[in-house]
Chain A
Amino acid sequence: MPNNSLVLQVESHVGANSAWLGGEGDTIDGMLPKVVAEPKSAEALTGLLEWASQEELTVSVRGGGTKLDWGGVLGAVDLVVSTAGLSSVVAHRHGDLTATVEAGATLASVNEALGARRQWLPFDPPWAARATIGGIVATNDSGPSRYRYGAPRDVIIGVTVVRADGKMAKAGGIVVKNVAGYDLSRLMTGAFGSLGVVVDVTFKLTPVAPASGTALIELGSVDAMAPIVADLVSSDLTPSAIELQWPPARLLVKFESVESAVESQADAVARLVAARDASCRVTVHRDYQESTLWEDHAGRWNQPGTLVKVSTATNAIVPTLIWLREACRDRNVAMSAQGRAALSVVDIRLDGAIDTQAQLIQELRERFEVGAGSAVIRRAVAALRQSVDPWGPIGDGLRVMQAIKQRFDPDGRLNRGRGPV
């Protein structure tokens, strides 16, 4: 098919000026797509994917482009679908604390809209200004507030997807409690677009708390971290985030509530830490100071290098970090860590020779039995994701996952190679 006629064909499904030949800015993992399409409606997307199915084209999806270097290395791509044209807040049912938003809407724009009613979608993953709902759902990415409010898979209540064969299907609904049928919303969450292209998502929302404050705990060393996190978790405090940073070894404990509860709980953190370890320093940050603290924390994800998500049992995360520090030091790899201390889901940043990193990640994985921990490469250069499986051992559920992928996308055309199956 001549290239220009390809664009015309695509435009017949998505409308004029909504498709272009793949150019330099459209490459994913170094691969140049033949054509890029930007459908403006679910119907246009349906028509496009039905056509792509008939033409047996491989398809990849792009939102804000913040995570194109996540997941497996893309195997092939003829058509890139941009969700930029599907970016509206379809409904904000503030009385019901739910909202339906299109996949291409950025998290920041959604939360700006919901903020008018003092509600929010309680996600705070990195790059909120550019990261889209579709991408956040596809990667089940989350931020510090996951501790209290959950990950995307915990607040998703409905989804509309277009399948590889171009058929549109929905699951769940707009009500917060619903057990009718299989939970395809959760299945799509974290699937890296391997089972369908998400059109819109319905979420349960959270009211914006009237006050917030953060206790910053500066630890003498990382070894002091585990007992303090254990104390925080077993206390009756209700923080919305317990984040670690290292180095320097610090904990950020955020409270969101009425003013009196924020103040009293932040003070309680200071007492709890003092009782455990007098060498730690606790300061309470409010207002501008507090937002600066969290902006700096989010900035840690912007530092260059590989990001590996390490997940362990609660009492295993600090020993894992200490092991990693030694291992990195021996091999001349720079390392830092940040993430959910109390959930034991931490992002490790590595910077060093590719093969050394690959070896480190393999050794790290060998420390975990399947189910008791994992080390998943999130962001990395293609060379690293090529030399070591980004997901690591999945366990004996893999065969079922492969069977699901086969049923939804028998020809393996959707985000080939990108997802876990």
Chain B
Amino acid sequence: MRSTFIASCAQVVGAEHVVQDATEMAVYESDGLAKLRSTPGLVVLPGTAAEVQQVVRLCHEGGVPFVARGQGTGLSGGAMPHPDGVLIVMTRLNHILDIDIPNRRITVEPGVMNIEVTKAVSSQGCYYAPDPSSQVICSIGGNVAENSGGAHCLKYGFTVHHVLGLEAVLPNGEMIQVGGSALDPPGLDLLGVLVGSEGTLAVVTKVTLRLLGKPAAVKTLLAAFDSTEEAGNAVSGIIGAGIIPAAVEMMDRTTIEAAEAAVHPNFPPAEAVLIVELDGAEAEVSALFDHVETVCRDVGAREIQVAKTDAQRARFWMGRKAAFAAMGRVSPSYYVQDGVIPRTKLPEVLGRIRALETESGLKIGNVFHAGDGNLHPLVCYDDRIEGQAALAESVASQILTFCLDVGGSITGEHGVGADKADQMPKMFTETDLDSMQLVRCAFDPQHLCNPGKVFPTPRLCGEVPGPYRAHPIERAGLAERF
């Protein structure tokens, strides 16, 4: 990287916010997916949106690739740095800018942690719905990039359903406002495209989020089953009865044991547990909760615990949210997979995963967002044993094939990133991918913004044939755009 370029960046963000030292740089080599790493050309930590814009402008002028990074908790290598590029670390943009309770809006900088949003408005009876398991350490900017979900997205949707406005720096250094405090901004749904674009279209510098009012009633139960099939039947029974719970989570024996070893949630020993949470109006929750209990018993639940206090509910959730990290207690290494299937295919796909476990000799733990069919198989291996890491990766990849065989997706929430770019052609045709890349070319024709992610091969953007054709109203001189 040219020293004049580095000096220009330092001038923008301040020399103390530039990292060049190899040891310090090591922290930034990977995100949560540690197997994919790369040393960035330069790390900068801008403190304001204007500084972000200036850095991006310098990159644009110099043809230097750049990657935005939040807290680095992503699990698909989406924030893996470019070896010849600038890593723009957004953690200093961590201010809550505006809280507007009457309009149920909050505007934050992207470096604000997910949990901080709810904390800021909790005393006023509000909360921010998307709650990824990493919510205490992940930032809103990363949530926007990944369109993060969480345990409660079955009822409340994903990040895209809760973002009302964005300020973003385009790859050419231009800053745009998309949406805002009012719904339905005129024009194409740029919010819909930007959220979940994994940092490949722009760098987001400000986010306006929708807040929800806390529900009148929340009831949570934990049901233990003798098989994952029974637990799966319970989920079908609940949804089949027309009930949309706030959350339905399933853990199998391997992950229950791991969670027990790590955080002692005191789950009953079982082949599978379900956590079912209902929320809403008092009368509705109590009527439907009875129904959920009946369904669980009818399909053979051996034990049902109903959370009587908030502390007990928190204990259920602690067990669930700790599941990934807890695998470290039962296995030296593990590979976290993220795939989606139509929920009704759960028994079929679980059966195939079990057969694969036997065949490969690697233990596979399973945690599911069972309500929406999002699987998180955890493939256990020992990286001290030669070849096991590669085997685990191939097992994890086969599980994605099972998902695709039943019409599912290669990722429900962790993103494609660098990790699954080569899996995209298994899910999409060349034309499908080409159409997505038309959007990429519209935003970033030079491929400077987080290059090498999402798509297996970049599209040559070329020049668009012919000049832009003005709207007939513009042509008629009756209106102009600005």
Same assembly: yes
Binding site for B on A (CB under 8 A): 72-73, 75, 93, 95-98, 118-119, 140, 150-151, 153-154, 161, 163, 167-171, 173-187, 189-191, 194-195, 206-210, 230, 233-238, 257-258, 260-261, 263-265, 309, 311-315, 343-345, 368-374, 376, 386-389, 391-408, 410-412, 416-417, 419-421
Q: What residues of chain A lie closer than 8 Å to B416, measured between beta carbons? A: 179-181
Cβ B287 vs Cβ A207 within 8 A: no
Binding site for A on B (CB under 8 A): 100, 102-105, 125, 146-147, 149, 153-154, 157-158, 160-161, 165, 170, 174-190, 192-193, 195-197, 213-216, 236, 239-240, 242-244, 280-284, 287-288, 340-344, 369, 372-374, 407-416, 420, 424, 427-429, 431-436, 438-443, 454, 464-466, 468-469, 471-473, 476, 478-479, 481-482
Which of A191, A371, A404 gathers the greatest number of chain B CB atoms within 10 Å? A371
Pick from A153, A161, A238, A392: contact of B192, CB under 8 Å = A153
Bound complex: CA A88 to CA B454 (Å): 33
Pick from B182, B192, B287, B465: contact of A187, CB under 8 Å = B192
Pick from B147, B165, B180, B214: contact of A236, CB under 8 Å = B214
Cβ B409 vs Cβ A236 within 8 A: no
Bound complex: CA A164 to CA B410 (Å): 28
Closest chain A residue, CB of each to CB of B161: A154
Q: What residues of chain A lie closer than 8 Å to B153, measured between beta carbons? A: 177
Pick from B182, B242, B284, B471: contact of A421, CB under 8 Å = B471
Pick from B186, B236, B468: contact of A376, CB under 8 Å = B186
Pick from B340, B344, B439, B479: contact of A178, CB under 8 Å = B340
Total contacts A-B at CB 8 Å: 320
Cβ A179 vs Cβ B283 within 8 A: no
Cβ A175 vs Cβ B104 within 8 A: no
Pick from B165, B170, B281, B464: contact of A406, CB under 8 Å = B464
Cβ A236 vs Cβ B432 within 8 A: no
12 of the cross-chain contacts (CB-CB < 8 Å) are A73-B472, A167-B431, A175-B340, A175-B372, A177-B153, A181-B436, A206-B244, A207-B242, A237-B281, A370-B185, A386-B478, A399-B174
Closest chain A residue, CB of each to CB of B439: A182
- Known contacts A167-B434, A169-B432, A404-B442; 19 additional CB pairs below 8 A are A75-B471, A95-B240, A119-B242, A171-B432, A173-B408, A177-B413, A179-B411, A179-B415, A181-B433, A182-B440, A186-B189, A236-B213, A261-B283, A311-B184, A391-B187, A396-B175, A404-B188, A407-B442, A417-B472
Bound complex: CA A396 to CA B478 (Å): 20
- Interface SS of chain A: loop
Q: What residues of chain B lie closer than 8 Å to A416, measured between beta carbons? A: 469, 472
Cβ A186 vs Cβ B193 within 8 A: yes
Cβ A401 vs Cβ B239 within 8 A: no
Q: What residues of chain B lie closer than 8 Å to A177, measured between beta carbons? A: 149, 153, 158, 340, 369, 372-374, 409, 412-413
Q: Shortest CB–CB separation between residue B273 and chain A, in angstroms? A: 21
Q: Shortest CB–CB separation between residue A266 and chain B, in angstroms? A: 11
Bound complex: CA A405 to CA B476 (Å): 20
Q: Shortest CB–CB separation between residue A36 and chain B, in angstroms? A: 22
Q: What residues of chain A lie closer than 8 Å to B189, measured between beta carbons? A: 140, 153, 186-187, 189-191
Q: What residues of chain B lie closer than 8 Å to A260, measured between beta carbons? A: 283-284, 287
